[in-house]
Structure 1
Amino acid sequence: MSETSELVGGRLAVLEPKNLETEQRSLYDFIDQKFVPWSQKAKFAIKIDDGRLVGPFNTFLYSPQVSTAFLEFMEAETQFSTLTARVREVVTLTCGAFWNAKYELYAHSALARKAGLSEQTIRALATGQPPEALSVDETLAYDFTRQLITEHRVSEDLYSRAEAAFGKTELVNMTFLIGHYLLTSALLNTFETPAPDQQADITKKG
């Protein structure tokens, strides 16, 4: 077990699979089946080489009943939204940058690469800078997200342009997406959950 793997839980111990209670084990298995393959495809770590979970997924195990409902919400939001993968990552990285949520920025930088965003754009989003080379819709999503999380409302002009581009239903879904990652960022920062060292062994098995 590497020293690095001992650090990835932040304020919360990284729970051993063999010591999980029944509801924790059920949640662990759900994450292992649903989310670990997702992370492996994008090349970021949810599970370290000894089987323990990292990032918010370890945190979820501490409250399995509520966390299961939250992950079901996450699954529904992903399934029924028609936002493109690129728009989703623009929104998510904008949320993560506002909170400086290190694991979120680490994971969603990988997902943004998979979605086709450039390294320059990813760096800008992750550091809270206005990104260049986005499409009109992606820029609108960035502006909408940024204004909502910094000013706690959206101006009439920006709302009208976003509604024309995405429609009412997808603006509802975009707001759900923003809320999802603001909550995730809050969990990460409350427990000082770091990003794994991308050079360490923990990224090998995702």
Structure 2
Amino acid sequence: MRLKLISPDEMNADQKATYDEAVAGKRGAAPAPMLAWLNSPEMARHATRLGETLRFNTIFPAKLSEIAILVTARHFTAHYEWWAHKRLALKGGLDVEIIDAIRDRRTPRFDDPQAQMIYDVAKSLHEGHGLAKPLYDAAVRLLSERGLVEIIGLCGYYTLVSMTLNTFEFGLPEGEVSELA
């Protein structure tokens, strides 16, 4: 870890208010990258609120949202993010074969057209830096404009998360080993 993370009793008033808000939210804890973001309390406040909205208040169930998150974590080889969201994806009902394919940089097989579209959109955003018109049109038809905006939001937010975790070299919990090479 490149950054000394401060404990709640070491936080100034702005940091502590942001930390307390996160703990009182739907997560019930401060998300790992927020501990770095607290060096900029206002950024931490807004980023954490955005993350909570994207995790819990999109039109998609966790099973589908986690596809975009895992594609993002894999794109950035974000070890901590992958570790955390693989567990959430499994809990949400995402098939382990799909997760393993994303981990191994293989294209998964999907039975659900929405899941396939979310995967295709996430891959295109990261690898192509946007969506070609045919993919855009298909995504709007299948996911709706709101759904497409939310998938873009998930990919963008988890890009910030991945960059934060990678830059400050957040380690995995003791005893855990990364699956990503």
Question: TM-score surpassing 0.5?
Answer: yes
Deviation at 1:71, TM superposition (A): 1.5
1:125 is the counterpart of 2:116: no
Equivalence map 1:25-40=2 (5 Å): 25-34=16-25, 36-37=27-28
Instruction: Tell me the equivalent position of 2:179.
Output: none
Residue in 2 aligned with 1:40? none
Classify the secondary structure of the residue corresponding to 1:162.
helix
Q: 2-side partners of 1:88 and 1:175: how far apart?
A: 11
1:85-137 CA-partner distances (Å, limit 9, x unpaired): 21100000000000001111011111101110122222222343212244111
* Structure 2: gaps spanning 5 or more residues: 177-181
* Structure 2 counterparts to residues 39-188 of structure 1, below 5 A: 55-78=32-55, 80-188=57-165
Secondary structure of residue in 1 paired with 2:105: coil
The code of the aligned residue for 1:184 comes to V
Q: How many residues align?
A: 177
SS in 2 for 1:68: helix
Q: 1:60: Cα distance to partner?
A: 2.2
Structure-1 separation of matches of 2:126 and 2:14? 34
Is the 2:55–2:62 Cα contact (8 Å) retained in structure 1?
no
- Mapped to 2, the partners of 1:198 and 1:13 lie a distance apart of 21
Judging changes above 3 Å, is the alpha-carbon distance between structure 1 residues 158 and 54 closer, same or farther for their aligned structure 2 residues? Answer: closer
Q: How far did 1:156 drift?
A: 1.7
CA contact (8 A) 1:94 1:128 kept: no
Q: Deviations over 1:30-88 (max 9, x none)?
A: 22222553xxxxxxxx6xxxxxx673132122221111011222234445520222110
TM-score (norm 2): 0.87
Separation in structure 1 between the aligned mates of residue 79 and residue 137 of structure 2, nearest angstrom: 33
Q: For structure 1, list consecutive stretches of 5 or more residues without a partner in the other structure.
A: 1-9, 38-45, 47-52, 200-206
2:12 counterpart (3, 6, 21): 21
RMSD: 2.2
The answer as to whether partners of 2:54 and 2:150 remain within 8 angstroms in 1 is yes
- Matched AA of 1:197: E
